[in-house]
Amino acid sequence: MNDTQNQVLNKKLEMLEKILSAKERVLVAFSGGTDSSFLLAYAKKVLGKNVEAIIINSQLFPKNELSRAVDFCRKHSINYTIVEKDIMKNKKIVSNPPTRCYHCKKAIFSTIRKFAKKNGFTHILEGGNADDLNAYRPGKRALLELGIESPLALANLTKEEIRTISKTLGLESWNLPSAACLASRIPYGEKITSDKLIMINKSEDYLRHLGFSQVRVRHHGNLAKIEILEEEWNLLDKSLRISINEELKKIGFVHVAVDLAGYRTGAMDELLHKPT
């Protein structure tokens, strides 16, 4: 980074510190991803013991991310609470409309708000960043309705800036791949079921185990559509393709395909914005 970029970043960090220092007892909605890890660590730096984490464990939360979130809190001596949430009981979520994210955020953060009120927290923070302000995020409305605060976005910190600062601070989360709830792998209008979520979770775990850094397995009925980074396509030699095909069929898919457009965020949102 050049001097000008450093100055801009330092001003944003000063803004973040000012935002956080004005708060009393803070509860951070923690997923273990790059953004919420940075927010949690920086909030602890500013507020000390007046910050704690809450981890919502639901069927939509990849299991590897749960263990990573717990490990982060333990390593950095941050108090945390895991709350179990049965998302599958919510018909507005499992019916999977384009506004699913709104209903999901509303359900999860309503649970967090009840916990915060019961335990004396004055502010609830989440890790949305400045990039999220320009993306399709129906869940943002739920956060506004419930009074949930997004200090990283307020300080205008982007994903790349958060990664840069996290690396400087020595946070192991600085280069984690982008994450999203498992429901985002299922096309809108198709019902979300526990079986589908388990298939997606197992398939993505298997692909990560093979060495793919950024993975999505989209669930299209009997078809698994795999998204990986274009720079990792060279890993897909014949032997590995055969292995992947066999393993995902064991998991429950009938057909396995690779998306030629490669990995990108919001792939399931593309049809929402497609001209008719």
User: Are residues 205 and 154 part of one domain?
Assistant: no
Which CATH number fits the domain that encloses residue 111? 3.40.50.620
Separation between Cα atoms, residue 143 and residue 106, nearest integer Å: 7
Instruction: Mention every residue, 6+ apart, whose C-beta is less than 8 A from residue 260.
Output: none
The pLDDT tens digits for 46-91 are 999 999 999 999 999 888 889 999 999 999 999 999 999 999 999 9
Separation between Cα atoms, residue 98 and residue 135, nearest integer Å: 14
Q: Which of 113, 141, 168 is the last residue of a domain?
A: 168
78 in a structural domain? yes
Residue type, position 178, single letter:
S
Give the chain's mean pLDDT.
Answer: 93
Q: What is the mean pLDDT of residues 221-225?
A: 97
Separation between Cα atoms, residue 123 and residue 215, nearest integer Å: 34
pLDDT of residue 276: 46
Q: Which of 135, 168, 201 is the last residue of a domain?
A: 168
User: Are residues 85 and 159 part of one domain?
Assistant: yes
The pLDDT tens digits for 18-52 are 999 999 999 999 999 999 999 999 999 999 999 99
The pLDDT tens digits for 239-276 are 999 999 999 999 999 999 999 999 987 666 666 655 44
Separation between Cα atoms, residue 78 and residue 165, nearest integer Å: 20
Separation between Cα atoms, residue 158 and residue 145, nearest integer Å: 24
The pLDDT tens digits for 171-213 are 999 999 988 899 999 999 999 999 999 999 999 999 999 999 9
Q: Which of 168, 196, 214 is the last residue of a domain?
A: 168
pTM above 0.85, yes or no: yes
The pLDDT tens digits for 96-107 are 999 999 999 999
1 pLDDT band, cuts 50/70/90, is low
Structural domain of 21: 3-168
pLDDT of residue 157: 97
5 pLDDT band, cuts 50/70/90, is confident
pLDDT of residue 93: 96
Evaluate whether 216 touches 187 at the Cβ level (below 8 Å).
no
pLDDT of residue 266: 67
pLDDT of residue 259: 96
User: Are residues 257 and 138 part of one domain?
Assistant: no
* Number of domains present in the structure of the chain: 2
User: Are residues 187 and 152 part of one domain?
Assistant: no
Closest CA to 112 of 45, 40, 104: 104
User: Are residues 31 and 135 part of one domain?
Assistant: yes
